[in-house]
Every structure is written in C-alpha cells, then in structure tokens.
Chain A
C-alpha cells in the first residue's frame, strides 16, 4: 500500500533536535500546568504541539521504509498505546501516594514507551518486519503520542492529576476525540508529503500547522472546565494560520510552477 519505499535517507533536520523539542517542550508544558490558571493550560497545549512535531518527525523516519500498511496505521497504533499508557500511568501515580502525583505523567510516558517497544519487538521478531529503526522509531512515536495526549488533557482539565482529567476529559468523551485528532495531527504531515522529493523541513511545517489547529480545537473543548480556553483557542488559531502560510510558501518555492487550471468548460465535449 504505502509507496514511500527506500527509506533511511538523510533528513534535513537532526532527529535529536526534534526529539529534544518534543521531550523537553512536552514535559515542561505538562509540569507547568499548575503555575497559573491561564498560563499553565496554555503551556500544556504548546507542549502537546511540540510533541506532535516530534511524533511527525518520528513517523516520517519509520514510515519512509515503507510499512506495507500505510502511514496512518502506525499512527493509530501509537496513539492507542499512548492513551492506554497515559490512563494507566495517571492512575498508577495515585497508587504510590499523593506525594508522588508529580511522577504520574512521567510514568504514563514510560509505560507507553515500554508497550510501544514490546509491540515493535513482536513485529520484528515474530512477524519478521525488516525495518532497522522500527523499535526505536515506535518507542519515540509512542512517547510523542503519550505526551500529546497528556498535554491536551492537561490543557482541557487545567491539571495533570487523574481525578480532574477523568472528570473533564474521559467522562465527557473528549478522550476519544483526542485519540483520533492527535493521530491525524501526527500521521497526516508525512502521509501528505511523502515521496521522492520529500523535504523534512516542509513536512514539519505542516506538522506545526496540524498541531496548532488541534490546539485551537482543544481550546474550544476546554470551554466548560478551563479559564484559559479562549487564550488557547485564539493563540492556536493564529499560530495555525502562520504555520500553514509557511507550509504553503515552502510548497510554492519547491514547486516547478504553480498554475491555476481554470474552471471546467461550460459544455462537455463528446
């Protein structure tokens, strides 16, 4: 199905840089949630966008080898792992006592990485997939998925503890929406840009725009539970506009020519 093929080419962007942005940005955003009722959720949402950019870069590195099942499938799988790991981590953090609530988000990310690693090992050892970066790529991808879910959940609930997230993200059903929306935000950039002339800088510009439009929607979802909802929605929408313009400009710059095809003819010729 996927015709990405080839794989392993030099990327225009250092993988360590996107990983750094994703991990550090995501964790700072999530842990900064309690500092201020408006600024905290905003930082959490921005952290989730950082994680989405990292995830889009990780998916591009794995899927450029050609998975045989299309790019979206690994995106759905990683978000499924991310949601299971996040919920289990947040709940598990409570088990250790209230003093350790701080550990809960980190535990969610670690559990997701473990589950992602196990699945990738199964795919490699039992099923026999021949992708050299499958294990590390899937682990990065599941970590990014967990961070994006955590960041957006914290932005909606205004806290990263299990009880508020359960009340305003899970019980309301927003978790299902986050599941599919973050999948789209992470897998769409590479799915749309793949091919022999794929330029990672351009792909990541699209990733920023999908991340920011998700952030704008997350802002609207937080209307009932967070004071910061309008700040998140407006900043997300503005940043989406800017990043989409950057992506369109990059596409135009790389294109041989851009021409308007005109409207279809009035009468069909037979």
Chain B
C-alpha cells in the first residue's frame, strides 16, 4: 500500500501535474460560479485536454475541476443571489442576505472554509471506506456484477423527476446507443445501417458532449433576449476575505460541519443522488438542530456552513461508489468513468486492487484539490466578476466551436464532429420533450460493461437461477426493484397507505440476501434489518396506519421554495 501511495504521489507531485490540477481548480471555480454552467459541463469540456495526459494527470485535472466547481457555485450564490450550480442553492438562502447586509467577505470566507473542511472530511471517509468496500467487490461473480449494473440503471429512473418511465426509456436509449458498432465478443457489426464510419461504434466523448453540453448550450440561447444578457454579477471586485476569522467561525460550528459533511458523503454514496440534494438536506437538518432556527434565511452563518460542507463532501461519497464498485455515483463520476475507459482502464469492483496507482492517485488528488481550492478561491473571485460580464450568446458560440475542436482532437476523425452534431440534436429534442439526459449518458457508459458481464454469465452457466441464488446478485435485484419506486414513494410519502410499508418491506426483503451471505457479521446485520423492519411496522400499527388526506397537504419544503 505504501509503495502504491509513493508511486501515485510521485506522479502527482510533479510540477506539470500540479499546474494542471491548479488550472483545473481555477476552471472549475469559474465554471461553477457561472449560473447555468454546470460542473458536469465543465468536466466534460476539460476531457479533450486530458487525452494527451497520463491517466493520473487526466483524472487529477478532472478532480480539480470537480472540487473547484463544487466550491465555485457559492461565489455567484452569495454575491448575486443566483446559485452558480444546483449544489449551492441552499447557500444563497443565508449567504445572499449576509452579503447584502455588507458582510460579503465574511459570507464568502465562511463558505470557502466550510467547503474546504467538508471536502477534507469527504476525502478522509473516501480513503477509509473505499478500500473496505472494494474488498466486498472482490467477492462479485459475473451474475452479481450484471445485477449491480442493472441496479445502477434502475436508479436512473429516479433521475427522471416526475416521470419514472421517461427516465427508464432514456436509460434504455443510452444502452441501445452503446450497442451500435462491432460487438465486443465476436466482432459482428450491429445497427450500422451500412455506414462504415459507425463500424467502430460511437466514440464516447462526442456522444457525451453532444447530449450534455451541445444541447444545453442551444437551450440557453433559445430565448433571444436572455441570450443577449450577460451572466449577471455587478459586485464589487475588491471584496476581501479575512481567512482567520472565517475559519474560526466555521470551526466554532464543528457539530454542524461534521453532521453536514456526513450527510454529504452519504448522499454521494447513493447512486444518482448528488450535491444538488445534499446541500438542501444539510441545510434542513442544520435548521432543525439549531437553537435559533428563526434566524435561518436572514444571514445566519450556520446556513452557509451546512450546504457548503455537504456539497463538497458529496464528491467523496460519489468517488467511493465509483472506485469501490465501478459504477458512477453521479453524472460527474460517470464522465470520469468514461475518461478511464478512454485511457483503457476498465472500471470494475476490482479497480482498487488492479489499478492501485490510479486509485491512490485519485485519493491524493482529491485531498490536494481541496487545498488548492482554498488557495485559489480568492484569486478567482476577480476572474468570476470579469467572466460574468460576457454575453451568454458569445460564450455559447465560442464553446460550441470548442466542443467541435475538442471531439475532433480525440481520434482526428471528422465523423466525430458529426456524431457530436446528431447527439446534440437528440439531446435537445429529448430535453424539449421532458426526457432526462443523465440516464442516457449512464446507459452509454454502462452499456458495454453490462454486456460483457452478461456474456461472462452465459459463458459460465445457462442456469438463470444463479441470479436469485447468489446473495449479492439477489441483493442488487431487490435493491433495484425498491429503488425504481423510490421516487414515487418520496412523492406520495404519508399520503398513500402503501408508503407506510415501503421502508419496512425493503428492510425485510433486503435481509434475505444478507442472511444468505457468509460469516457472522452479515447474518447479524440481516437480523437487525428484520428487527428494524418489524419495529417500523409495529410503530405504524400503533399509529393506526394514518395517512394525510389530499386537502391536508404538506407544508412547503425548502426544496419547493426557500426557507
């Protein structure tokens, strides 16, 4: 382990890599600060630059963008009241009133230090948990791995928001796109329709950039008036941050800091639940635990610490899932998985044991990126104010050209620009029709891996009962079934009677595969799950299976409209 850390450290501690990471952090900070410019888009646009780099350098740069982007959102959120990214929505609730009250420096400082501490806590959990989880991954056989892929894809349903079916359709379209071209087992061309250029399949990057960045940019310029506007910061560029005061204020609130960071890590571990959810959850919990909840929304420092610590810690959680199980925790880690594939590194549950140098480099890079973010945030504050003066249509035009240039640089093939174009059209049309884009991307990333796992399953045995007799496979199938309906459960919780038995039923059903596992700890865990499920059922029974009537409704939550 020490040897791997030293090798990974040596690769990261070169001047070139450090410079690239710093550039990544600055790019992320500025991109995160621009309203409407998501972190995922920034990571996608940085991807073409990483082709010429080693996997460690490339991933280090992208982690820099990721961490920078998570922290960048607070700048525009606090200074303009418009969150730069969805991950800093809750920061604006107290950050903006505090800045408007003449304490912009303090608000920014507290946000920056909370982000830093949140990121460091996330990194510590990542280092401690990922290798342990990866050991479990070594127990996986092809049946378990295929079930894991199916589970990851069913989770995409929850990304669809209102309509689960649209999410599943989008995920299946992604899988179908991944089948185009020669199959990996026999090399037979599929769905090429006689076009030679499609023989090798669609390159991942043009598909990703087309679906995500291209379609998004065109949506941004749809309205002529808003396209001619600028990005909106009219703040004073000479704001000064007193770091000592800010760090002290954050550390005084250590309980809130640790709780919010752990909420962030936990949310990151859940596939598809990213920092856009964790910041609101952490804010909500901070308000509930506060002695002065009435001060929230008026410029309370706890209201800045909670969301900022949570959103940076989420990255640690998402990276745990990516490294330990080889499935993306969120859209950004999905892009990183794509980047690994471009560098011929196939993500799998054995990733940490098979690619220890890259794995430890990711751990170290995540730590370092948080320190870099802390150092560079003040510098980029001026850059942010400048960038926000640029007109949206100018930025969109230049980035569209850059997209074309970037995807061409991948293989020096003009067909890739056409791929970008057609997937841009597809992404735009799907968004306009209300289909989510993220499941398509997850489908494209996981399609090939899932097919290979299925091919191994068929090669090993033609007995399909292995899917239900192997504990891990059954575990993921049960989890997948329940997670498919989780969004419906969340919407109807407390309103429909079936929602009262959803969680107890999930606990009891999950206990079956856990009980089938070897050892002592897991059967004990299974027993606890059963006891927990039965206790919840007993509680519901004691409460008389009460559900809210339609007209009772629920008080508006933070997610629906502010504190």
The answer to whether A and B interact is no
Q: What residues make up the interface of B, taking CB atoms closer than 8 Å to A?
A: none
Q: What residues make up the interface of A, taking CB atoms closer than 8 Å to B?
A: none
